[in-house]
Amino acid sequence: MMALAILFVASLWAGAQNALAGGGSFITLPSLMLTGMDARAANITSTVALFPAQLVMGFTGRSDAMSPPGLPMRTLFVISLIGGAIGALILLWTPPTVFARLVPWLVLFATALFAWGSFFRKPPQPGEAHLPPWGAAIVQFFIAVYGGYFGGGIGLLMMASLTMAGLAVRTAGASKNILTGVMNASAVAIFALSSDIHWMQAAVTAGGASFGGWAGAVMLRTVNERLLKLGVIAIGVLLTIGLFWTAP
């Protein structure tokens, strides 16, 4: 019960973090592992638990969403569904011991990506496309595969690719939220058949993250976003060190 209480509080934080700056999975992954599950099961459970909040985020901002010029949203949907399913299947085929060795590197990559996207990347000006439609489609497919497999940093990857394909930042953000839900929909449908899901922990995480997401949206205009992003990076660095230290 103490572990579940800690998980709920951590999920509140993760939900608020996702709404404010992103990076909530850096919190849910180790919190779920603390309840006794291995890294692969924690990753699968986290994906399922955070899915409802992703649907809400995508639905809320749907009016601002738009696909890049020359690349219909329907095509992006299909690409995201297929890529997410492939990533989920690869994860299920990955032995837990192998994933435990991979996860420190995945968290390191996601942390570095978050730092780059938060403080160093300069998005193109609106309408300034550096990525042709076919290139954006290929990039979206690989992002979706990565998203179905692990998912850390997919929002930043999509923001980079969609703005490079010619979308404004605000539009890319709304489109990214929808596509995140789409790619995870196929992953969740596959994971739902897996014995790796710990449903009690998933329910606790979903409840905490949903309420935390609402609270984060309320606090959005008053919280220092730069400090939040620095906090995410600090958590990612500490998590990376801890995972490398305890890796089998």
Instruction: Give the whole-angstrom CA distance, residue 101 versus residue 99.
Output: 5
Which sign does the torsion angle of CA 188, 193, 197, 200 carry? positive
Which residue from 188, 199, 225, 186 is spatially nearest to 81, judged by alpha carbons? 186
Instruction: Give the whole-angstrom CA distance, residue 228 versus residue 214.
Output: 17
Which sign does the torsion angle of CA 64, 68, 69, 74 carry? negative
Residue found by looking up tokens 């601002």 in the block:
64
Residues 29-64 as b or e (16 or more Cβ within 10 Å = b):
bbbbbebebbbbbbbbbbbbbbbbbbbbbbeebeee
Cβ 101 vs Cβ 247: under 8 Å: yes
pTM of the entire predicted model? 0.81
pLDDT at 220: 59
pLDDT in single tens digits along all 248 residues of the chain: 788 888 999 898 888 777 666 677 888 888 898 888 898 999 999 889 888 877 877 777 777 788 888 889 999 999 999 999 999 999 999 998 898 888 889 888 888 877 887 677 676 555 555 778 898 899 999 999 998 998 777 877 887 788 888 777 778 777 888 888 899 899 999 998 888 899 999 999 999 888 887 777 676 567 676 777 787 788 778 888 887 887 66
pLDDT at 128: 58
